[in-house]
Amino acid sequence: MFKKFLHYYKNHKLVLALDLLAAFLIAITGIGYPIITRIMLNDWIPNGQINLIVIGGLILVGIYVVRMGLRYFMQYYGHVMGVKMQGEMRSDLFDKLQRLPYSYFDNHETGVIMSTMTNDLFEISELAHHGPENLLIASFTAIGAFTYLMIIDWILGFILLGAIPILFILTWVFRKKFRSSMRRSRKAIAAINARVENSISGIRVTKAFTNEKIEKERFERANQEYIDARTEVFSSMGGYFSISQFVTDFFNVLILVTGGFFLYYSVGDFNYGDYSAFVVSVSLFIGPINTLIVFIEQLENASAGFSRFVALMEEEEETIYSGQKVCENLEGELKFDHVSFRYDTSNEVLDDVSFHLEKGKTLALVGPSGGGKTTICHLIPRFYFLKQGHIYIDGVNIEEYTLCSLRENIGIVQQEVFLFGGTIKDNILYGRPDASEEEVIAAAEKANILDFINELPEGWDTEIGERGVRLSGGQKQRLSIARLFLKNPPILILDEATSALDNTTEMLIQRSLHELAKGRTCLIVAHRLSTIKSSDIIAVISQGKIMEMGDHDTLLKLNGIYAELYRLQFKTGDTEEVSKIKIG
């Protein structure tokens, strides 16, 4: 994992080298003040060397000016390096998300993914920037300070050395509680992200049911969990830092008193200059030790975040299931050959399904909800991957096609239309980004939405809002159909494309869909049997099996399940009744 982390320094070697050089120079110049202080008190002041006192002061000022420039470089360029590395990781993570299969998003909450994308990557970038320089500055400063302290007086040096094991024992004592509370905190912020994402996505449902209070209570529970987790973190931090500061202060006092006794009893050559320099240098030694201990905690936190980043980056991609053959000039002949399928934790959703659909023909799938109709639609573009049976397009197993080229030849219109934030033109162009303006206009005209667009004050540049919230259901559906006209795929899947629309809007959409379906192989999932009477083949799907198959007239003559559904629907006038009837 460490090698994977170092990989992100690859494009920033020069800045990293200069940053570490600056850190090294800051570390070695930090000991300048106690050195000059000792010389000044022992030699220059007693000997009245005023010129050397002034020169010594100027040297210190010069050192601090250089350190100021070095710190600016570290703060600015170091942070820029960190944020660029964070950007590269975020870009890699986003690319990875595009290559993950449908099943991954079925099993992982958006909020958790967003937490990795934001919080974890921020902690990683902070380590990437501050980690190396803090490690270098603290290490060299502590080594330099301790070496100088031992030169001044080795007895006091060894007394001061006793602070190190105490500080590390404190770290060990608080470490377990701190790590536990940090894990709880990360889970809590991920839960908040998920709660907010769900609440915003479903805000219209919330308002429609006047359940704002319930949503508020759910959020407050998640928010309180985060507050409690962070309170636990701060309790651990407060305990550690307060006690460690006491240890530091205690050893400062111990050195102060012991050094005073050394002066009083004239122990060795210890003098006032040594005493002052030693007292000043104590903080130069213990401060970096505390920094190194904090760095260890920062390293653990960032490592945990990076391990989650790596775990996501190592998720199995859907591209491993991709074939090598490129789909070109497809005619659209479709065949299911003994296909059975189940989701990860479910029972069989499809059980030995077989059918053959000639190019340019239409197959309608009807039956109760949960029967497997949508699953059939998802298997054709390989949103999920078969483990039993085969699907063929133009006589070629779809597993032999590349995923990209296969999906380029399939168009899908669903009941729940997803539009991206942006303009009307942007969303239609999503069907084929390189399309000309004339092609976009033609697609809109075929989808019966051109007049609506032309009537808008801003026309094609009209912002439709997030997920198209400023459009009606019918307008969104026609935009999605325009996208497909632009894409122009040989195979078309209509998954309950009009089931949520009123009759007038449905007629307009059906007209557009009829135009779209001309010359294409079509699969239609529908609950309103009136919309699929003219289909070449109708298959009744229930409990994952094809119960009946034939055209409308044949199935009526068969006087079986379809005939019963048809009579019941047109007798009751309930267009949703098909989805509710239990078969078998």
DSSP 190-252: HHHHHHHHHHHHTHHHHHHTT-HHHHHHHHHHHHHHHHHHHHHHHHHHHHHHHHHHHHHHHHH
The 10s digit of each residue's pLDDT in 165-201 is: 888 888 787 777 777 777 788 788 888 888 887 787 7
What is the C-alpha to C-alpha distance for residues 495 and 489, in angstroms, rounded to an integer? 16
Do residues 291 and 138 touch, judged by C-beta distance below 8 A?
yes
The 10s digit of each residue's pLDDT in 202-236 is: 776 777 777 788 888 888 988 898 898 888 888 88
**% the chain with pLDDT above 70:** 95
What is the C-alpha to C-alpha distance for residues 361 and 520, in angstroms, rounded to an integer? 7
CATH architecture of the domain formed by 2-319: Up-down Bundle (1.20)
What is the C-alpha to C-alpha distance for residues 350 and 378, in angstroms, rounded to an integer? 12
The 10s digit of each residue's pLDDT in 448-471 is: 888 889 998 889 998 988 778 888
Q: In the chain, what are the domain boundaries?
A: 2-319, 325-409+525-584
Strand 388-393 and strand 334-341: the pairing is antiparallel
Indicate the range of 109-123, 173-187, 256-270, 478-492 predicted with least confidence.
173-187
Helix ranges (H only) for 32-119 are 32-39, 50-99, 102-107, 110-115
Indicate the range of 61-70, 188-197, 373-382, 398-407 predicted with least confidence.
188-197
Tally of helices (H runs) and strands (E runs) in the chain:
21, 10
Q: Quick one: pLDDT at residue 393? A: 94
Q: Could you tell me the fold of the domain covering 325-409+525-584? A: Rossmann fold (3.40.50)
Do residues 469 and 433 touch, judged by C-beta distance below 8 A?
no
Do residues 421 and 385 touch, judged by C-beta distance below 8 A?
no
Q: How far apart are the first and last CA of the chain?
A: 54
What number is the average pLDDT over the span 327-344?
89
Q: Quick one: pLDDT at residue 582? A: 45
Q: Quick one: pLDDT at residue 301? A: 77
CA distances from 375 to 342, 370, 383, 385, 494 (A): 9, 9, 9, 11, 13
More confident residue, 507 or 216: 216
Indicate the range of 90-99, 352-361, 567-576 predicted with least confidence.
567-576
What is the C-alpha to C-alpha distance for residues 218 and 502, in angstroms, rounded to an integer? 34
User: pLDDT band at 528, cuts 50/70/90?
Assistant: confident
What pTM, to 2 d.p., does this model score? 0.79
φ/ψ of residue 337, rounded to 5: -120, 100
Q: How would you class 518 by CB atoms within 10 Å of its CB: exposed for 0-12, middle for 13-18, buried for 19 or more? A: exposed
- List CB contacts of 262: < 8 A, sequence separation 6 or more: 153, 156, 268, 270, 275
Highest mean pLDDT among 61-75, 416-430, 515-529: 61-75
The 10s digit of each residue's pLDDT in 573-583 is: 554 444 444 44
